[in-house]
């Protein structure tokens, strides 16, 4: 009996020792998972900050380009500083400060400034002996650092909240200082975000500039000297390209106590169990630990999926209000996105500028947070490029350049970008490996896929040149855009919806998603299902422009002719010839008519494009001139110009109508 007792004690001690080792390993793993979770939260916060501060970097780059373009006429910079204040509501002031006597006639101080008041935006010069900006922190910091500089925050008297200055020096080709540009804006939203950013209880967050200036901190954050005294567990991240350092600190005692509590308490229970029932309790404890590990993993995955879902759905916030505000009675716009259970990467966006509706639909490869982050980047780049771009091709190439330069995971995006001139029905578009939209006509009742150049998806090659295309959209016609989650939807029998069934749904069903859902039945979606429909409800109007009779207006006319020809199916060669003929006709008007205004009207009938040029000058019939036999350098422009026009177009007519010259050029689409 005594021998049995010793064996039992030795067995208990042996098992206790084994459990002690196991508890230590469990403690180490728990601490490692703590660090992993901290890293994940830091990465998410980094992406949020980087996208929010993108406006400051983008505005900074635009202002540098404007400075170098307007060195001979610096007053022109007022329009750019004023425009930036209007465009970005977080900006309070924007200024361009030149070094002493850079423009001798302006004196020692010359600083072009635009700033926001409570009622308006004011633009005026700044700087004198009393307000010597050369001694200001933002000016000295930018000059001394030769890089972007974040100033110490201060309280603005007018807005009663922390203001920060981001400044940068502008150098010429020799490396000499041209000026210092600065932008004042509030980071109040960062303070709010840091106060709510709690990856763990008792966590504190801080933001520092590249020179060590504290920009923002959550309530209760430690001082600089306290971070490295051993009482905090600290994680640091440098956010690129904004060059701001983010620091997260958690009291070491809180973390260690939490981890110990999670391991020592099960250990005590297990030791008691060993003394009572031996090996049986050990097995139960091992199962319990495994269940705890699986539960932790499920919580981390669930948290990650919720973050991805919030990012994806955040793009669609207030979607109905945006549609209502932009429809304007001449179009009908509908959007629909149902994310799959694991969260995919589908997205869409749109905005209207006057009579032009810009829109994008796309699909990011992959799932979860990485796909959601890439999707958010694509949408933000579309919105930023849309401010200055003039064509879908330009928007697509700007997005592709940025995504290709910042794509270590080789994620790609298929996308379709379009611009619809609503009155005329001209649709310009550019495709990047995405599903071809369907055009549905109420006249034929037979929907057909749009013929698109596939191009490559975004994110692969930043130097790729995309092909832009066009077509005409008539009254009542509908553009149906979708992602591959629609055509690849499957029912419980694993049958795919396919393009044929999808075309029938577009032709016969008003509730397209309802029809897709009915086909799927009880089957779970394997990908996001995303739809966007645009219907033109107003009559098609002719393309007309009125411009001053000046050679600087030719690019405006050329763009209108190019867009119209492209949308009506002209090939590149024929369209180029038509542009040359139109330019010759405009040159004749400039040289001979003495007109003050040119009116152009474009139309397409019977497979021919017609360009009608009308001016209010003196009577002048260019078709009556014949080519001059002199050398090219000595000839009269009119004769040879008309000769060239006749060689290109199929018909040429002139008439004097209501004291105006009317010249009509007609070219067949296939000639």
Per-residue burial over 204-235, b if 16 or more Cβ lie within 10 Å, else e, is bbbbbbeeebebbbbeebbeeeebeeeebbeb
SS3 422: coil
Q: What is the mean pLDDT of residues 223-240?
A: 71
What domains appear along the chain, each with residue ranges and CATH number?
2-52+192-297 (3.30.450), 54-186 (3.30.450.20), 315-536 (3.60.40.10), 543-668 (3.30.565.10)
pLDDT of residue 48: 66
Rounded CA-CA distance 382/336 in Å is: 19
Write out pLDDT tens, residues 118-173: 788 999 998 998 889 999 988 998 898 877 788 887 776 666 677 888 889 999 98
Confidence at 229, pLDDT banded by 50, 70, 90: low
Q: What is the DSSP letter of 490?
A: B
Output the CA torsion sign for 454, 458, 461, 467. Answer: positive
| The two structure tokens encoding residue 248 | 């997260």
SS3 12: helix
pLDDT of residue 634: 42
**SS3 letters across 330-344:** CEEEEEEEECCCCCC
Q: Which pTM does this prediction carry?
A: 0.56
pLDDT of residue 268: 63
**Orientation angle between helical segments 188-196 and 2-52, nearest 10 degrees:** 170
Beta carbons within 8 Å of 617's beta carbon, 6+ residues apart: 549, 589, 592, 593, 594, 595, 596, 661
Rounded CA-CA distance 347/160 in Å is: 38
Confidence at 263, pLDDT banded by 50, 70, 90: low
Provide, for the chain, the percentages of residues in helix, strand and coil under a 3-state DSSP scheme, each rounded to the nearest 5.
Answer: 45, 25, 30
Side by side, the strands of the sheet bearing 529-536 are 331-338, 529-536, 478-482, 438-440, 448-449
Write out pLDDT tens, residues 558-583: 999 999 999 999 988 989 999 999 99
Write out pLDDT tens, residues 321-379: 666 656 677 899 998 888 775 556 788 999 898 899 999 999 998 777 777 778 888 88
Confidence at 520, pLDDT banded by 50, 70, 90: very high
| The two structure tokens encoding residue 471 | 């077509």
Q: Which of 336, 335, 346 is nearest to 308 (CA)?
A: 346
Of 387 and 548, the one with more pLDDT: 548
The rounded mean pLDDT for the chain is 81
Write out pLDDT tens, residues 617-646: 999 888 876 655 444 444 344 456 788 899
Q: Which of 120, 125, 139, 129 is nearest to 182 (CA)?
A: 139
| The two structure tokens encoding residue 84 | 């930036």
Rounded CA-CA distance 312/347 in Å is: 7
Q: How many of the other CB atoms lie within 10 Å of CB of 521?
A: 10
Rounded CA-CA distance 113/122 in Å is: 8
């Amino acid at each position: 009996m005594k021998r049995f007792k010793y064996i039992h004690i030795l067995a208990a001690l042996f098992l206790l020792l084994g459990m002690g080792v196991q508890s230590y390993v469990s403690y180490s793993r728990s601490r490692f998972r703590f660090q992993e979770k901290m890293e994940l939260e830091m990465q998410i916060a980094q992406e949020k900050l980087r996208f929010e501060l993108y406006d400051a970097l983008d505005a900074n780059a635009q202002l540098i380009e404007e400075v170098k373009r307007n060195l001979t006429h610096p007053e022109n910079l007022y329009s750019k500083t004023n425009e930036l204040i209007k465009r970005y509501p977080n900006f309070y002031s924007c200024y361009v400060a030149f070094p002493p006597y850079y423009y001798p006639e302006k004196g020692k101080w010359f600083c072009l400034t635009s700033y926001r008041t409570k009622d308006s935006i004011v633009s005026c010069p700044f700087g004198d002996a009393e307000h010597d900006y050369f001694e200001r922190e933002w000016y000295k910091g930018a000059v001394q650092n030769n890089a972007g500089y974040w100033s110490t925050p201060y309280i603005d008297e007018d807005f009663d909240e922390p203001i920060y200055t981001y400044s940068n020096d502008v150098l010429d080709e020799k490396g000499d200082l041209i000026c210092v540009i600065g932008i004042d804006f509030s980071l109040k939203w960062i303070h709010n975000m840091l106060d709510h950013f709690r990856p763990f209880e008792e966590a504190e967050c801080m933001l520092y500039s590249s020179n060590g200036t504290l920009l923002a901190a959550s309530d209760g954050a430690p001082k600089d000297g306290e971070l490295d005294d051993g009482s905090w567990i600290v994680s640091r991240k440098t956010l690129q390209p904004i060059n701001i350092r983010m620091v997260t600190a958690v009291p070491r005692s809180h973390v260690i106590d939490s981890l110990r509590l999670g391991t020592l308490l099960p250990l005590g229970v297990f030791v008691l169990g060993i003394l009572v029932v031996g090996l049986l309790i050990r097995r139960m404890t091992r199962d319990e630990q495994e269940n705890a590990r699986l539960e932790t993993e499920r919580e981390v995955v669930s948290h990650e999926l919720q973050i991805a879902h919030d990012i994806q759905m955040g793009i669609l916030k207030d979607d109905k209000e945006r549609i209502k505000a932009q429809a304007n009675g001449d179009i009908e716009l509908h959007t629909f996105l149902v994310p799959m259970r694991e969260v995919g990467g589908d997205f869409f966006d749109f905005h209207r500028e006057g009579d032009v509706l810009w829109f994008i639909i796309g699909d990011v490869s992959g799932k979860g947070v990485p796909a959601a982050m890439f999707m958010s980047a694509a949408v933000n780049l579309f919105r930023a490029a849309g401010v200055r771009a003039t064509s879908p091709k330009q928007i697509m190439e700007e997005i592709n350049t940025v995504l290709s330069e910042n794509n270590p995971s080789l994620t790609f995006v298929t996308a379709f970008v379009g611009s619809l001139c609503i009155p005329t029905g001209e649709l310009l578009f550019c495709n990047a490996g995405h599903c071809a939209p369907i055009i549905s006509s109420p006249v034929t009742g037979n929907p057909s896929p749009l013929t698109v150049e596939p191009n490559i998806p975004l994110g692969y090659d930043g130097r790729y040149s995309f092909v832009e295309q066009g077509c005409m959209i008539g009254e009542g016609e509908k553009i149906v855009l979708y992602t591959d989650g629609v055509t690849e939807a499957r029912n419980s029998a694993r049958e795919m919806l396919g393009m044929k069934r999808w075309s029938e749904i577009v032709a016969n069903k008003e509730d397209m998603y309802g029809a897709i859902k009915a086909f799927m039945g009880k089957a779970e979606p394997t990908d996001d299902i995303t739809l966007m429909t645009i219907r033109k409800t107003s009559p098609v109007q002719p393309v007309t422009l009125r411009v001053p009779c000046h050679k600087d207006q030719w690019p405006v006319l050329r763009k209108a002719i190019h867009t119209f020809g492209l949308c009506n199916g002209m090939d590149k060669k024929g369209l180029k010839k038509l542009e040359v003929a139109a330019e010759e006709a405009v040159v004749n008007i400039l040289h001979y008519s003495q007109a003050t205004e040119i009116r152009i009207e474009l139309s397409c009938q019977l497979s021919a494009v017609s360009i009608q040029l009308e001016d209010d000058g003196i009577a002048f019939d260019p078709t009556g001139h014949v080519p001059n036999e002199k050398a090219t350098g000595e000839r009269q422009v009119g004769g040879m110009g008309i000769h060239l026009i006749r060689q290109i177009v199929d018909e040429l007519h002139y008439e004097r109508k209501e004291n105006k010259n009317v010249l009509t050029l007609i070219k067949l689409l296939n000639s």
